[in-house]
Amino acid sequence: MQHDTNHLGQPVGLPIPNWQTPPTPPRTALVGRTCRLEPLSAAAHAADLHVAFAQDEPGQMWTYMAYGPFESAESYRAWCEEKSQASDPLFFAIVDRGAGQPVGVASYLRIDPRSGSIEVGHLAYSPRLQRTIAATESMYLMMRQAFELGYRRYEWKCHALNAASRAAALRLGFSFEGIFRQATVAKGRNRDTAWFSILDREWPALQRAFDQWLDPANFDEQGRQRLRLSELTARR
């Protein structure tokens, strides 16, 4: 842990010169090459999202979520109506630019401008979004905006038993920080929570890794990646 020493010989935190509280993220779209993140709207997104999520017939994408699966289009629309009114979490629909249809959801949450900390979460990726370039690019767009706004800490938290989410965090360049035991109760079961973060000083190298991976030249004619993102993020 990096630290300073005060006049009493005690270790203290490093100074943050010219610190300014960042603004909260705007409720505006984020546009990439393969996807567009639009502020969640029940009218614009709920029906298509419910259809996309229904392709996960076993419902395994909801296992580690605090909610879902949704039994009907009406129940999911009601959920979207409620969540689209909130500012924290601030929800976005992930729209596949090629198909022009929403295929997933993500949000900013635990937005703390005074500390310069913000979290990404509530990730619901339909089978049409999973393991695609857009799945990664959507995370890059949200991450980039957070650091451009001036946030100094970007968090990822997940159920400690969710191996896929933990692997995704590491692939995206997050550092594992530990597990909060018995952090909460979800669907009547205990949830231990794994914590990950990226700091602002780590972002420039990570951004270069994302830009290199997302470059169309990194993919062959069949859309297969030439360099893995995990290899690029590990080099920072």
Q: pTM for this structure?
A: 0.95
Q: What tokens were used for 29? A: 């779209």
For the segment 175-220, what is each residue's pLDDT rounded down to a tens digit?
Answer: 999 999 999 999 999 999 999 999 999 999 999 999 999 999 999 9
CA distances from 45 to 68, 89, 117, 170 (A): 17, 17, 28, 30
pLDDT in tens, 219-235: 999 889 999 999 999 87
State residue 223's pLDDT score. Answer: 87
Report how far residue 7's alpha carbon sits from residue 9's, in angstroms, rounded to the nearest whole number. 5
What kind and span of H or E run contains 206?
Answer: helix 203-214
Superfamily of domain 26-234: Gcn5-related N-acetyltransferase (GNAT) (3.40.630.30)
To the nearest whole percent, how much of the chain has pLDDT over 70?
100
pLDDT at 1: 80
How many CA atoms, within 13 angstroms, populate the side-chain half-sphere of residue 10? 3
Q: What is the pLDDT of residues 137-177, one digit of tens each?
A: 999 999 999 999 999 999 999 999 999 999 999 999 999 99
Q: Where are the domains of the chain?
A: 26-234
